[in-house]
Each structure stands twice: as structure tokens, then as C-alpha cells.
Amino acid sequence: MNAEDLEKRWQQKSQEAFQTIAQWRQGHPKATMAEIETAIDQQLDQVRARIIEEVAQAEMHPEAEPEPTRCPQCGERMHRRGTRSRRLQTRGRQDVTLTRPYLDCPACGYSFFPPR
């Protein structure tokens, strides 16, 4: 996905969050400052998590083939052994799923899920 498409998606997600906040506010006209802050944080945390997920996933786009990775244990060239998904959690306690190639070393057997 190119930068322009990502920007449009993020604008759409932000707009949806703002609409949800506006609807929430209409239903909670006497909300305290803490309640308002919590409601807004929940929406913005969701938008933030989707942006983080899409930015991190865009780095591993199939057309952007990374250079061969060397094994951190023995220095041999790592081989791909399919893909795996990993669920992480943002500071806002939102789940982010990353799908990346899973690599292993034919020489020493070391394997890992690359961080980027």
C-alpha cells in the first residue's frame, strides 16, 4: 500500500473515531473531565493501534524483499520457513497483529520471527 492510500485510510479511521466521540458526548452531556478523557483515549488508542499495525506491516510488503538475513548465532544465511503472526499490545492496551516471515538457519537450527 502506498503512502497516499495509507494516509486516506488513517484519515477515515480518525474521522470514524471523531464521530464516535461526538455521539458519545451527546449521550453523556454531564460527563466529568475524567470520563471525557477516558472516552477520547479509547477511540484514539484504537486509531493509533491500526496506524502502528499498518506502518509495521508495510515494511514487510512482499514487493519489498529484504536482503538475506544472517544468523545471529553462526553467521550463515537464514532461510524462510513460511510466515507467522504475532499479537502485540500497544501502550494503549490495543492488540496489533504482525505477519512476518519466520526464518531458520540450516547450519545451526536457530530460528526467529524478525522484529522488522
pTM of the model: 0.67
Asked if residue 51 and residue 5 are part of one domain, the reply reads yes
Whole-number pLDDT of residue 37: 97
Q: Mean pLDDT, to the nearest integer, of 31-46?
A: 96
Alpha-helical (H) ranges within 1-116 are 3-27, 33-58
Where a domain ends, among 58, 81, 101? 58
26-30: average pLDDT:
97
Average pLDDT on 22-39 reads 97
Based on the fold, state whether residues 76 and 116 are members of the same structural domain.
Answer: yes
Angle (nearest 5°) at CA 52 between 22 and 81: 145
pLDDT per position as a tens digit, 56-93: 887 665 544 556 688 989 999 999 888 888 898 998 89
Domain count, the chain: 2
Closest CA to 28 of 16, 17, 13, 39: 39
Question: Is 54 in the same domain as 71?
Answer: no
Tell me the C-alpha distance between 50 and 2, whole Å.
Answer: 16
pLDDT for 60 equals: 60
* Mean pLDDT of the residues in the chain: 87
Domain that holds residue 51: 1-58
1, 34: one domain = yes
Same domain, 51 and 74: no
Same domain membership, residue 52 and residue 73? no
Among candidate residues 41, 58, 75, the one where a domain is terminated: 58
